Amino acid sequence: MHALLDAGLAEAKAEGIALEAHLQTCATCRSEWNALLKADRALWEGRSIQPRNQILPSFRERVAQQPLPSHNTPWASAAALSLCAALMLVTLLLLPFHRAVPWSAKRPKQTRTAMELQQIAPTIETKRLAGLLSQQALSHHRATTAVPFANGRHARRNSTSVQMATKEAPLRSPLYARTPKVATAIAMRAASAPNPLAHDGALLPKKTQLPKRLNTSGQPTEPLEERRSLIIGTVSTDVQEENIAMAAPSNRGQADAASNGVLSAASPDIASATQGKGADWLTAQAPVRLHVVDPHRGFSSTLEMLPLANGCPPSIVFEENALSSAQEVLR
């Protein structure tokens, strides 16, 4: 029985059949097996445990107090310290003879470190953003994330893509997560922290309102603040059945239509995108590439999901093609 549980019922078919035959004739073993199976099933529930709180911020604080790890031995560290002390001494001695240069003149403008960039959504590994920031035209945003599916191979949960606006880039920061809870948690964390996508210079007026095309609720929103994010809505992605079938509505009304509709097979691995014709969906063995077109918010994006391969979590790529600049959005 234990060997069968170790191997998994699906992978030990022969043993399973033999056990089943025996259990039909032996009440003691049947009772034993049922109790064992009940405990075994209960234990699997532990897979859904998650931390209650976001522990990354406090972890960052703790790790910031740690010296950087290196291969150096204590002797090498001591030598490095001595060298630093000597250099500082020499610098202090030579400083009075050096021409004074204002510190601000030396500081490069609009620099953002990789660490800052990752703060916006730590589960999303941002790519290419560093270079784009300096151009102030974030026309192409590509983010990769890997969210494990708790139930193994089959994606069958609702997913949510949270669209966030920032003063500096109203169409930026699409966050994708497997569950609305996770997406919201990421979004809330990003919203409560300084927005690392913010530029040094004020790109937009201080009292910037959310552009009308982004505000589908019709209600007035709070002004976008500098270095803060505002969640402007979500795009629900309904993932049903195994091997991924998803509906990607482009607005809330279409989301309802999609949830009521029957998902049917479409092209197996090619993206399907229709605009203004109700829900867009596809069924595929995977990889799945999904184009989401949102006429209300004025962007199109591509969601690419690669399924579990060799037991590793799927990777999800969210690629957004937005307008060429934040200024254009406001026109």
Amino acid residing at 12: A
> Among 21-29, 144-152, 279-287, 292-300, which window interacts with another protein (CB under 8 A)?
144-152
* Residue in 24, 58, 134, 274 binding another protein, rule: CB under 8 A: 58
Distance from C-alpha of 61 to C-alpha of 52, rounded to nearest angstrom: 18
For residue 305, which amino acid is it? M
Q: Is the preceding omega at residue 268 within 30 degrees of 0, hence cis?
A: no
Q: From CA 31, how far away is CA 26, in angstroms rounded?
A: 9
Q: How far apart are CA 317 and CA 299, in angstroms?
A: 16
The yes or no reply on residue 9 touching another protein (CB under 8 A) is yes
Smallest gap, in angstroms, from Cβ of residue 78 to another protein?
16
Q: Beta partners for 305?
A: 288, 316
In whole angstroms, give the CA distance from residue 192 to residue 304.
Answer: 28
**Which run of H or E residues covers position 16?**
helix 13-25
- 24 vs 17: CA distance, rounded Å: 11
User: Does 96 interact with another protein (rule: CB under 8 A)?
Assistant: no
Stretch that binds another protein, among 80-88, 153-161, 207-215, 220-228 (CB under 8 A): 153-161
Query: In terms of CB distance, is 113 or 327 closer to another protein?
Result: 113
Is 53 an interacting residue with respect to another protein (CB under 8 A)?
yes
Lay out the site mask for another protein across 218-257 (x = CB under 8 A, - = otherwise): ----------------------------------------
Tell which phi-psi region holds residue 182, choosing left (phi > 0), alpha (psi between -120 and 50) or beta: alpha
Structure tokens that stand for 90 in this block: 């020499």
Asked if 115 interacts with another protein (CB under 8 A), we say yes
Binding residue for another protein (CB under 8 A) from 15, 127, 137, 179? 179
Interface segment toward another protein; rule CB under 8 A; list 7-15, 78-86, 198-206, 299-307: 7-15
Question: Kindly report the CA angle at 275 between 269 and 280, in degrees rounded to 5?
Answer: 40
Q: Interface with another protein includes 123 (CB under 8 A)?
A: yes
Q: Which of 14, 71, 131, 201 binds another protein (CB under 8 A)?
A: 71
Return the residue of 23, 36, 137, 188 that touches another protein, per CB under 8 A.
Answer: 36
Among 15, 23, 118, 215, binds another protein (CB under 8 A): 118
For the chain, the straight-line distance linking the first and the last C-alpha, in angstroms and rounded, comes to: 69
Cα 131 to Cα 329: distance, rounded to the nearest angstrom: 21
Least separation in angstroms between residue 325's CB and another protein is 27
Q: What is the DSSP pairing of strand 229-240 with strand 245-248?
A: antiparallel
The answer to whether 311 contacts another protein (rule: CB under 8 A) is yes
* 10 is a contact residue toward another protein (CB under 8 A): yes
- Using CB under 8 A, list all residues that contact another protein: 2, 5-6, 8-11, 35-36, 38-53, 55-56, 58-60, 62-64, 66, 68-71, 113-115, 118, 122-123, 125, 146, 148-153, 157-158, 179-182, 308-313
